[in-house]
Structure 1
Amino acid sequence: MELKLTRVDYTQVGLTSSKCLRILPSSNPKTQQKIIVGDHDGLVQLFSMKKGEVQNVFKTAPDKKITRVELGGALGTVKDKIFVSSGNEVRGYTKKGKQFLGFDTNLTQEIKSMHISGSDLLVCGDYVYNHYHDCQDANHFLAADQINDVITLPAEKSDYIMTTLFSDQTKILVPVLACEDRLLRVMKDSEVLYSVELPSTPSSLQLFYNDGGEQGDQLLYGTNDGKIGLVQLGRGSALHRWVTEGSGKGGGIMCMDHYDMTGDGVRDLIVGRDDGTVEVLSYDDGDESEPTLRFSTNCNESITSVQGGVVGNGGYDEIVASTYTGWVLGLTSEPMDRHLSSESGVVNISEESRTKIQKLRAEMEELQQRVLREREQYQAATQSAYPGISAVPFFSVKDKMSLNRSDASYLLSLEVQTAIDNVLLQSDVPIDLLDVEKNSAVVSYSTCDPESGNFLLATYRCQANTTRLEVRIRTIEGQYGTLQAYITPRLQPKCCQVCQYRIKPLSLHTRIHNFDANRPYNVLTLKGQFTLPEMHAWVVFCLPELPERTPSGDVAEFTFVSTFLDTQLQCVYSAGEAVFKSDNISTISILKDVLTKEATRKKVRLDISCEVSEESVVHALHLLHPRLEAQLMLAKQVSLIDALRELGSHEADTSFLAPEYQYILDNADELQAQYRKQPCHLERLYGMITDLYIDKYKFKGINVKSRVPQLLEILDNYGSLDLQHLINYFQAN
């Protein structure tokens, strides 16, 4: 069935964090429910809707910002107790607003995620996980990387879970941590029972069907790059049921919930993304296959919470969502035209709707008058001779720069609590700006002087009421520096906030956990008087997706894959020695240059040795071959489009054309769009092959830059030659 939902705005609170809105359960189905929401102003408020108006049940005084809101209660009972985390404190409220709990966890970090299960409280900071039972410290764990979310398998189904996950019959809590290093860590007490490797960084966790499925052992995860997956946790490992293959167009998963929106008796999956998209997906085959999309809408602001319930009017299911800037809105199944009637072409509005419209108009006029008065007072204060004031308004910026593995590009998203006027991007390293379909801003480029260290100066002018901007960037490995974003909102007086992003030397590498030892590898070995924290800091300087915190133990080991070329890099280091293995000699060359420079800056003497594999160069060329061939074919096809269209305008029947030319003519728009999405892609491939050639001979002490023009000539004629011709040129002395 087709799902039709209409947006209704309920109220606006302060800025909100992820999962800071909940709907209180109701004893009777289809009766109106109450909404609890917490914001960055520290306000916790419970309200309901009555005839389209907000009815506040209670509202707390301002305090530290609320980072999470959870519902709890005794196991087997209705979860109507409200728990909020603020700073390092957890507070509990009844549904009437009476505070019954004020618990100081004594954590040195701010609570970022929290989960309640009966009398068990689970809280996580950036790296620390703590478990409290009846407010008494029970277990704790220090994770190797940042913790993004925490959840437990349902304690109500603990009998089956214990026999499945553990050999003993002792009832025990089973927490699961979603960590930045692409792992789900399944906990037992204060230890990791086992880890589950994921395709991307997990950002949100949710029990399947909200109760873990029939046996309580199924868990949904959402990732930063928009994937959703289902895992079934076993005794020593997990079974991956399915994972949606995000194309990179969807935003990261911020929150999930289950509620029967389609009315078929099966709960649907509701998803909120950081690009403002709210989706409803249905399970056609239960947990056997990935769900299908039934509804999607974009709210133009990142979604922080989604919940299914009955809020606006009794009898009508809806999705209640909160956005980063504080909007609390509903996507209701209630037909909005039920208050309208039409006779003889004249639309009649119900008395209830007419009253609501009049009230809204009165509120708008009052707000306009208040804004006008405040502006006049401010202008008068700034122009007075004494004392004279000029206050720069503060505004919050939510930003994220994440690497998309599918197209080897970075997505920079900027969101402001007020409308954006313009964003200026400045970079001291060469980068390419790629098209973003959802981006409606107008971009203009200014001339730059690379000799002065300025390679990019681009201005994005946003349309009215735009609070979120996305920019897609492709970097060049080996070129490292800083990208700066100057964000100017539509505020008076004019002000600007600067955000800085490090472009790392190996910026197109991403973390993995499996190292393929069967490839031909080049090995770089460094020995010297450096400590483990020093070497870790240098590796963090070179590579993305690494924790700033030094790993525990005497030896650190990380594995990476190039998103552009699929070559691998293994880093194993300890105090006094570091070994790097890669099947791309250019990766080793970049590491050698950067690490040597960092050691020199720190005045640390290094003994450097390199083992170069000739087979790795041929291996890398084989990896580059299909990409180069496809890009050359695309460039050739695009270059023929205008001529073929000109021919088609003169000839009514183009069936005489060869099949390859007919294909180009039939798919011209798609080919041009694909080419526009990848500007400078062919030049990048040429650059990688050129670097590979130079680096191969650099390790032999031979300068071959004078032979690069011949190499480029071979690449220009690559379509008429073959891979072996290129390999022969590489191997010729």
Structure 2
Amino acid sequence: MMELNLTRKDYLQVGVTSPRTMKLLPEKKSKIQQKIAVADQTGVLQCFGLKKGEIVPLFKTLPTHKITRLELGGVLGSQPDKIFVATGSEVKGYTKKGKQFLGFDTNLTESIKTMWVCGSHLFLGGSYIFNHYIDCKDENYYLCSDRINDVSCLPMPRVTEVTPVLACQDRVLRVIEKSNLLYELEVSGPPQTLCVYANDGGEDGEEMLYGTADGKVGLVQLNRTSPSHRWEIPNEKRNGGILCMDNYDITSDGVVDLLIGRDDGILEVYGYDEADEPVLRFTQTLSESVSSVQGGVVASAGYDEIIACTYAGWIQGLTTEPQHKEAGPGDSVKVSEESNNKITALKQELEEMQQKVLQEREKYHYAAMNTKAISAVPQFNINDRFSLNKDDASYTLSIEVQIAIDNVLLQSDVPIDLLDVDKNSAVVSYSACDSENGNFLLATYRCQANTTRLELKVRSIEGQYGTLQAYITPRLQPKTCQVRQYQIKPLSLHQRTHILDDTRQMNELKLTGQFSLAEIHSWVSFCLPEIPERTPPGDTINFHFLSTFLDTQLDCFYKQGEGTFRSDNISTISILKDVLTKEATKRKINLNISYELKDDSIPLTLQRIHPKLEYQLLLAKKVQLIDALKELEIHEGNLDFMSPEYRQILEDADKLQTEYKKQPCHLERLYGMITDLFIDKFKFKGSNVKTKVPQLLEVLDNYELQNLVDFFATGGL
């Protein structure tokens, strides 16, 4: 594997208004890309040049509405040297000298979220609506059933027809032909960003890269008849989601590499082996989420660089150019006069900025203490995400602010577990809660100095639903706080899927009544995550779900006046029945409820729980033995008398304790799910078996699968 050595280079900070988008403008007369176009949330487009390593502002537009997308375009087949920005429902075009040549008001009902420019073709995506324009004339239109996260197009003119691709929140890539859906292709996670493979679509111009919210990157081939998956990079280290990608040969081996930016600040470079499989070449961790990344020759001719734009507005670079000469013993490093002048100028600029900050602080303090002062609360933007992880059935809550975070207070009115996160350096403290009044969690995370991003993990209990609140306090004067709310849904550990196993024994719940399609859709959206807020088009709606904790499945099919829900887990049906009935009662709608239960589904559900339960019981047993084994080791001094099993437990003691600590209450949750399954089975049959729960717990303490199955069959009699 080729070793890639990159050194860090900080260019500039362009402010603290986020989010940021950034593009490199190619120079036709030179191999050096010397211009960087940056857009921010205040609607300002700025262009910077690099001359001998110095940042030179070239032009800056006046503030308008928030810029949501920045793309480069130009004549098809030539270098893209025009800047296009999307703001609200308008698209503006600028030359690289800052002259506006386009002001196109699309009159769309949704704000533009995503954009792709290719020659005279303009592809725009709102939250659910996709539009295709040619020479600013409306050509095609498509209404998507779920939220659009990104828009791209297979490279023209390599493909015979214009082929837009939509990355949608429901884990699907949708390929559009004119105003119709050509086909859908499911991917492993919600795709957040798209990128044409190797900038040309590969051998046939049909290959597209996607990056998902759960941190996976994949390559698909999108031909006209049979799309296929080529490869996918798993997220084994559970890094952040993919926010941006680019193709550039940073390793100088003649093969374009893949540059990846993640929302936890990790920047990665992947090369390709002889079989065209991705291989990790380089990784760098930045302090903020990477909102844009590109490769090019930027500051020094002959040296490739990676330019990244982060959430707080920093433009940072990684360069292959040696930044210093290594000195040998007795040698002294000579600094050129040019470098010395740069250092002196930077020191002077830093001193001037410090003086300016002191003056502004004094000015603000004087104004605040004045009797005629008007109180003003400092405003700050928050970039937050609350998403379900399939791998460990937990939710990741990431909170990012442009300025340092002082503390974050978490409060929940439902029982949840806080899980350990390795990359979290904040100190957590818990406060006493009054659970009888609906307060189940009070935890405060105190952040270290200069921490701008905090990542937490929580695990909920299905059937118990409510709100998790985060009170975010930055290091600002005067002290101010913002509150973010995150809904914990009744079936919060279920994840959207597009595959249903019809061979399983499925229990069925059927509802009928005088309700509209929009009403029942809102009820289902209240119960389950990853459901679009807007009612999808059509007279009927069908969603499939998979439990990330138990691998059981749920099928939801509903229309006006009727809803059918099928699952191989009776507890899922029970939760849906209770919550949907409650929601209908709030709206004074009478429901007719019928259900069909399959007793054969119970042993199959217990078999799905079996591996997890057996593993957790064994883990708990091993952890309980560690202290006793260590005491024996101290007294005896020799471990030869121990069995290989016990010696292995001692060798893996730290690993076992760490794993057990990371999953608090995991075994109790499995016990709880089995108990709920037992109670729900007999509740549907009209029996109350809560008095049998102590017997069930005795069976679990002396666990054997067949004994548990027999106990469920007899009801503990």
TM-score of the superposition, structure 1-length normalised? 0.95
Quick one: distance in 1 between partners of 2:362 and 2:543?
A: 59
Which residue does the alignment assign to 1:473? Answer: 458
Which residue does the alignment assign to 1:76? Answer: 77
Describe the superposition over 1:600-652 as per-residue Cα deviations: whole angstroms up to 9, x where unpaired.
11110011111111111111111111110001011111111222223333455
Which residue does the alignment assign to 1:731? Answer: 713
Local SS of the residue matching 1:337 = coil
Of residues 354, 366, 370, the one that matches 1:384 is 370
Of residues 516, 524, 530, the one that matches 2:501 is 516
Which residue does the alignment assign to 2:526? Answer: 541
Quick one: distance in 2 between partners of 1:239 and 1:421?
A: 47
Which residue does the alignment assign to 1:423? Answer: 408
Q: Following TM superposition, where does structure 1 have runs of at least 4 consecutive aligned residues deviating by more than 6 angstroms?
A: 16-19
Quick one: distance in 2 between partners of 1:5 and 1:550?
A: 48
Give the partner amino acid of 1:244.
I
Of residues 286, 292, 311, the one that matches 1:324 is 311
Matched, 1:361 2:347: yes
Of residues 301, 306, 315, the one that matches 2:293 is 306
Quick one: distance in 2 between partners of 1:27 and 1:655?
A: 74
Local SS of the residue matching 2:600 = helix
Give the partner amino acid of 1:76.
G
**1:11 shift after superposition:** 1.3
Quick one: distance in 2 between partners of 1:300 and 1:4?
A: 20
Give the partner amino acid of 1:535.
I
Describe the superposition over 1:275-306 as per-residue Cα deviations: whole angstroms up to 9, x where unpaired.
0010000111354x3x1111111112010000
Quick one: distance in 1 between partners of 2:631 and 2:332?
A: 52
Contact 1:176-1:186 within 8 A present in 2 as well: yes
Greater CA drift, 24-33 or 1-10? 24-33
Of residues 349, 360, 366, the one that matches 2:335 is 349
Local SS of the residue matching 1:487 = strand
Of residues 209, 213, 218, the one that matches 1:220 is 209
Quick one: distance in 1 between partners of 2:647 and 2:50?
A: 60
Contact 2:116-2:152 within 8 A present in 1 as well: yes
Contact 1:127-1:147 within 8 A present in 2 as well: yes
Quick one: distance in 2 between partners of 1:73 and 1:541?
A: 45
**1:29 shift after superposition:** 6.8
Which residue does the alignment assign to 1:598? Answer: 583
Contact 2:19-2:41 within 8 A present in 1 as well: no
Which residue does the alignment assign to 1:165? Answer: none
Describe the superposition over 1:153-194 as per-residue Cα deviations: whole angstroms up to 9, x where unpaired.
011212xxx3xxxxxxxxx31000000111100010000000
Which residue does the alignment assign to 1:166? Answer: none
Which residue does the alignment assign to 2:144? Answer: 143
The 5 Å alignment of 1:271-286 reads 271-286=260-275
Local SS of the residue matching 1:710 = helix
Contact 2:20-2:310 within 8 A present in 1 as well: no
Quick one: distance in 1 between partners of 2:451 and 2:125?
A: 33
Which residue does the alignment assign to 1:715? Answer: 700
Give the partner amino acid of 2:111.
E
Quick one: distance in 1 between partners of 2:634 and 2:274?
A: 50
Contact 1:510-1:561 within 8 A present in 2 as well: yes
Matched, 1:435 2:420: yes
The 5 Å alignment of 1:501-580 reads 501-580=486-565
Local SS of the residue matching 1:548 = coil
Give the partner amino acid of 2:694.
P
Quick one: distance in 2 between partners of 1:191 and 1:579?
A: 29
Contact 1:714-1:726 within 8 A present in 2 as well: yes
Contact 1:17-1:68 within 8 A present in 2 as well: no
Quick one: distance in 2 between partners of 1:352 and 1:470?
A: 43
Matched, 1:260 2:245: no
Which residue does the alignment assign to 1:485? Answer: 470
Which residue does the alignment assign to 2:388? Answer: 403
Which residue does the alignment assign to 1:210? Answer: 199
Q: Percent identity?
A: 61
Which residue does the alignment assign to 1:167? Answer: none
Which residue does the alignment assign to 1:625? Answer: 610
**1:659 shift after superposition:** 1.9
TM-score of the superposition, structure 2-length normalised? 0.97
Contact 1:14-1:41 within 8 A present in 2 as well: no
Local SS of the residue matching 1:315 = coil
Matched, 1:608 2:593: yes
Describe the superposition over 1:427-446 as per-residue Cα deviations: whole angstroms up to 9, x where unpaired.
00000000011111110000
Give the partner amino acid of 1:676.
K
Quick one: distance in 1 between partners of 2:368 and 2:27?
A: 53
Local SS of the residue matching 1:620 = helix
Greater CA drift, 255-264 or 26-35? 26-35
Quick one: distance in 1 between partners of 2:641 and 2:332?
A: 58
Contact 1:19-1:255 within 8 A present in 2 as well: no
Contact 2:121-2:134 within 8 A present in 1 as well: yes
CA change 1:370–1:33 in 2 (3 A) is closer
Give the partner amino acid of 2:36.
I
Matched, 1:110 2:95: no
Q: Which runs of 5+ in 2 are unaligned?
A: none
CA change 1:19–1:397 in 2 (3 A) is closer
Contact 1:409-1:474 within 8 A present in 2 as well: yes
Give the partner amino acid of 2:46.
Q
Greater CA drift, 645-654 or 687-696? 645-654
Contact 1:342-1:348 within 8 A present in 2 as well: no
Quick one: distance in 2 between partners of 1:318 and 1:18?
A: 23
**1:592 shift after superposition:** 0.5
Quick one: distance in 1 between partners of 2:653 and 2:27?
A: 56
Quick one: distance in 1 between partners of 2:521 and 2:179?
A: 26
**1:345 shift after superposition:** 5.2
Describe the superposition over 1:576-599 as per-residue Cα deviations: whole angstroms up to 9, x where unpaired.
111100000000010011111111
Quick one: distance in 1 between partners of 2:154 and 2:483?
A: 42
Quick one: distance in 1 between partners of 2:517 and 2:632?
A: 67
Quick one: distance in 2 between partners of 1:271 and 1:506?
A: 33
Local SS of the residue matching 1:349 = coil
Give the partner amino acid of 1:472.
K
CA change 1:609–1:500 in 2 (3 A) is same
Greater CA drift, 434-443 or 17-26? 17-26
Quick one: distance in 1 between partners of 2:497 and 2:348?
A: 58
Contact 2:171-2:186 within 8 A present in 1 as well: yes
Greater CA drift, 390-399 or 2-11? 2-11
Greater CA drift, 415-424 or 232-241? 232-241
Contact 1:429-1:455 within 8 A present in 2 as well: yes
Which residue does the alignment assign to 1:269? Answer: 258
CA change 1:15–1:69 in 2 (3 A) is farther
Which residue does the alignment assign to 1:38? Answer: 39
Q: Cα RMSD over matched residues?
A: 1.5
Matched, 1:191 2:183: no
Describe the superposition over 1:538-585 as per-residue Cα deviations: whole angstroms up to 9, x where unpaired.
000000000010121111110100000000001111111111000000
Matched, 1:681 2:681: no
Give the partner amino acid of 1:83.
F
Give the partner amino acid of 1:322.
C
CA change 1:325–1:611 in 2 (3 A) is same
**1:146 shift after superposition:** 0.3
Quick one: distance in 2 between partners of 1:496 and 1:526?
A: 44
Contact 1:17-1:304 within 8 A present in 2 as well: no
Quick one: distance in 1 between partners of 2:85 and 2:584?
A: 47
Quick one: distance in 1 between partners of 2:220 and 2:328?
A: 52
Which residue does the alignment assign to 1:231? Answer: 220
Which residue does the alignment assign to 1:497? Answer: 482
Give the partner amino acid of 1:723.
L
Contact 2:37-2:45 within 8 A present in 1 as well: yes
Local SS of the residue matching 1:242 = strand
